[in-house]
A and B are shown apart, each in its own frame.
Chain A
């Protein structure tokens, strides 16, 4: 066995945690004898760490990290106590009456603070009740106990609800009649003590809020904004960096987290705010609905991976270099020559999710105009399969006057889809059915998002085109 092979064996054992003490010494000796081995070890170690980081990356982990980091920050109470302690006089030789009086006041203040910290009012027994739900919905309540929710009726006392799949949704009803519906992949934490507080970590929420007591508005918090609601109907889409609010009735005051800037969003207006942008915070008026729509895949992707045509070209060239079909220099020249391609063309690849390989697209990320679904709507989908799997195509829809209207889907069997080949499917809207209510109809509703799921996580497929056409001839471009 030569040094390289010996190193490779030791290094693999090391990364797998199987190297004994003597092995570490051997490895150290090899690394000391050859700089190229040391560099190879460091390269391999860094890729190993990046692979580990990527594998554990998820919105939930991201949220956990942010939450636990925020919990570790010195609290304002601690800071205040610290400031008070700093006010204590420096050690003196003679203790005066005022000195003892001052220390007494400080001690009393600290006791009062401790009392405020530890003797808070206990939470009310019931915050909300699950009134409707469908699909994979998980609940984490008191004591951190996680349970799957299967049917309506459960009483909830504050906690976290996770709607895990694209076709899942759940409706919560508060004691005052306020309803909050989460839809698709969403993570929501809620409580009610002095006021209703809803923290939408990510996902889609639709709320119909009963009039709230004066001075105690309902608070809706997202990673990038805070909304004060007195009583109204509105929809919120939240991602880790942006929030879109659509107000259908009443008025919502939105505050941008990055700079604290506030704006009132009136009925029939919408606004999008992002932690990346500091520009104007101006609501826009609701636009006329359109019935024809072609997806801008890159802008519309909510879940899945956008891959540009230019990237694909790079991958092909790299493969050609790796297989000895061309030199690296020739590949770089070819890449530069063709880099003027419009990089906005490409496809969206399915990404793994708890319920299978998934793509979610939403017209609301780019367009102000709602997409209206009528009886003549036909859904055209183009794509390519890289596994032999069936696909379910689904639509999430809302009422034109606001609120969640349901999820409708249709099954595309394996027989219609060939592995490795492109496909184009045209579906009349009547093909889409609500699994929870076969008699309901989505005619007259507006498209919130659409999804494609293959119920096998390793299944690979890509979507290259999505269009909604209106065969009545009154569609828009």
Chain B
């Protein structure tokens, strides 16, 4: 069976670029579809709070579109696209630094720096982490999974979660903290196993 990696290797953007260059803008849609999910996953995990990930992802695609003629055939298109995304993110972070009270209101500056350090990782890793997250969620039992469903899918307030489960709000917060930690460990264990087996 063809693996995801092999499928990605089959992707050849040159024809698409040639069609876009001839004025066929709609050909660019295949590129957007191809990279939308990995790009948003990467941006979501690298961008600090208050950054609009969708906006940044769309801006990246618009820049990629306008610079398509600069892409060098034979080089890695995904790497080129993520380089543009990295630059867009950096520009946004520079802008945020200039907003006087951004760090006081939204983000501890050290967190932003730690995320910037991590942004040098291969962008595809975040898509892998997202895939592993799906599997890790399935390994959680139903009683634990419901907290995450309430919090992330149904987005119900913590007070409501506390009422539904008969626990205190602080216990719910602690539970969510533990679940996120457990999921992080699960994802990293799977990444390690995957790395060892490949």
Contact = CB atoms under 8 A, between A and B. Distances in A.
B115 A45 contact: yes
B72 interface: no
A360 B130 CA distance: 23
Interface in A366-419: 386-387
Interface string A114-135: 0000000000000000000000
B100 interface: no
B90 interface: no
A24 B115 contact: no
Interface size grouping (class) on chain B: 35 or more
B177 A11 contact: yes
Interface in B132-176: 133-135, 137-139, 142, 146, 148-149, 151-153, 158, 170, 173-174, 176
A339 B197 contact: yes
A275 B34 contact: yes
B92 interface: no
Q: Which of A11, A49, A57 has the most CB of B within 10 A?
A: A49
Contacts of B23: 76, 79
B133 A66 contact: no
B150 to A, nearest CB: 11
Nearest to A298: B1
Interface residues of A, number: 77
B1 A344 contact: yes
Given A51-B151, A53-B40, A277-B10, 10 more contacts: A12-B173, A24-B105, A28-B109, A47-B181, A73-B61, A275-B33, A318-B189, A335-B193, A386-B142, A458-B146
Interface of B: 1, 7-8, 10-12, 15-16, 19, 23-30, 32-34, 36-37, 40-41, 44-45, 54, 57-58, 61-62, 65-66, 103-105, 108-111, 114-115, 118, 126, 129-130, 133-135, 137-139, 142, 146, 148-149, 151-153, 158, 170, 173-174, 176-177, 180-181, 183-184, 186-187, 189-190, 193, 196-197
Interface of A: 8-9, 11-16, 21, 24-25, 27-28, 31-32, 38-55, 57, 62, 65-66, 68-70, 72-76, 79, 223-224, 240-241, 257-260, 275-278, 298, 305, 307, 311, 314-315, 318-319, 328, 332, 335-336, 339, 344, 349, 386-387, 458, 460
10 contacts: A53-B40, A55-B153, A62-B36, A73-B65, A258-B30, A260-B24, A275-B34, A319-B139, A336-B196, A458-B146
